[in-house]
Amino acid sequence: MSVRRGWVAAILLLVAVQCLLWFVVAEIAWALRHFLTSDPQVITERTRAAVAWFVWCGVNFAGLLAFAIRRHRLTFWPVAAIQVANLGIAVWSGFQQVSQTCGDHGLEWLIPSGLAAVTLLVMYGAWRRRGDPTGPAGVSRPVLRRIVQPALLAVWIAAGLGLLGLSWHLGIQGIQRQSGAVATVRDEPGAGLHLTLDAASRDFPFLQDFYDTPPDVRVGDRVAVLTMEACGSGFPLAVQSQRGTWIDSIQGDLVQPFTPNTWWLHELFRWLSLTAGILVSASGLVALLRWIGRR
């Protein structure tokens, strides 16, 4: 399999960077085996995970070494398969960490997943250009066009991914709207107000540490409540009735500038961002693949 030197250099560089990243991940996992725990079972699980990361780093390095020594389909396709696995592992690990920490951590996995995706694109271009050193019909495209065109496509894809990220960010806390008539109201001195709705048996605590002014709600009032359901917390962030709107003074930025009665606008914007992100990023990726195929 004959691949141009530029493509080979790009592939080797990207794979080498990923080998370094996986080594760093393994080192961090090994160093944190005893972090905030003395439970032997937890330490054993963490040790196994660290060893697994070292093994996977070795697999990536073996693929890099084999492709560097001999550029053949027998080394090219295993490297491509490793990149697909890298992408899947990074996306899955990031998703798990984001879910477990309610979005506080996990975004760092975008780095290895992005590198794997870029490597796959470069390898696709190398595969399409195998054995052809000059390009279609021997025509050399202007350097400016060869730079500007893929740059614009990359920006287009990035815009789509940005919209997808925005949609994800708007929904990561799992905020839901609950509504109904107030069934009970209980004021606990030194704690805050608790209420229940006729449409749900759950208790909604509006603690005084989170609400500067206790909500003025009474039995029989029609109210709407926004609750944060991420990680099973179910904590109320805002409540609205005919007497006014009360928003959590600490975490209220998660819902503002919306209120319980206008939350449908937030959800509409979230789903529009998701739809637009899928269309924009998919169309940009198809255009990029077609551009690579014409190279």
Burial of 83 (C-beta count, 10 Å sphere; 0-12/13-18/19+): buried
Task: Summarize pLDDT for 215-236 with one digit per residue, the tens.
Answer: 888 888 899 999 888 766 678 8
- pLDDT value of position 60: 95
Task: Summarize pLDDT for 102-160 with one digit per residue, the tens.
Answer: 666 777 888 898 899 889 888 887 877 665 444 444 444 565 566 677 778 888 888 98
Q: Is the dihedral of CA 183, 186, 187, 193 positive or negative?
A: negative
Task: Summarize pLDDT for 178-211 with one digit per residue, the tens.
Answer: 888 989 888 887 778 888 888 777 888 888 888 8
- pLDDT value of position 144: 56
Domain ranges for the chain, please list them: 5-133, 175-267
Distance CA 73, CA 105 (A): 39
Query: Phi/psi of residue 277, each to 5°?
Result: -65, -40
Provide the 3-class DSSP secondary structure of residue 158: helix
Q: If you count them, how many residues does the chain have?
A: 295
Which one has a higher pLDDT value, 84 or 94?
A: 84
Provide the angle, in degrees to the nearest 10, between the axes of the packed helices 143-171 and 263-294.
150
Percentage with pLDDT > 70 across the chain: 88
Average pLDDT in the 79-103 region?
Answer: 84
Query: Phi/psi of residue 20, each to 5°?
Result: -65, -40
- pLDDT value of position 137: 43
Confidence of residue 175 (pLDDT cuts 50, 70, 90): confident
CB-CB neighbours of 250 under 10 Å: 12
CA 175 to chain centre: 18
Provide the 3-class DSSP secondary structure of residue 195: strand
Which one has a higher pLDDT value, 133 or 89?
A: 89
For the beta sheet containing 235-241, the strands, ordered from the edge strand earlier in sequence to the opposite edge, are 200-207, 192-197, 175-188, 222-228, 235-241, 244-247
Q: Which residues pair with 187 in a beta bridge?
A: 193
Task: Summarize pLDDT for 37-76 with one digit per residue, the tens.
Answer: 888 888 999 999 999 999 999 999 999 999 999 877 788 8
Which one has a higher pLDDT value, 132 or 248?
A: 248
Structure tokens at 272: 């529009």
Class of domain 175-267: mainly beta
Sequential DSSP letters for 232-249: G--EEEEEEETTEEEE-T
Q: For the chain, what percentages of helix, strand and coil (3-state, to nearest 5) are there?
A: 60, 15, 25
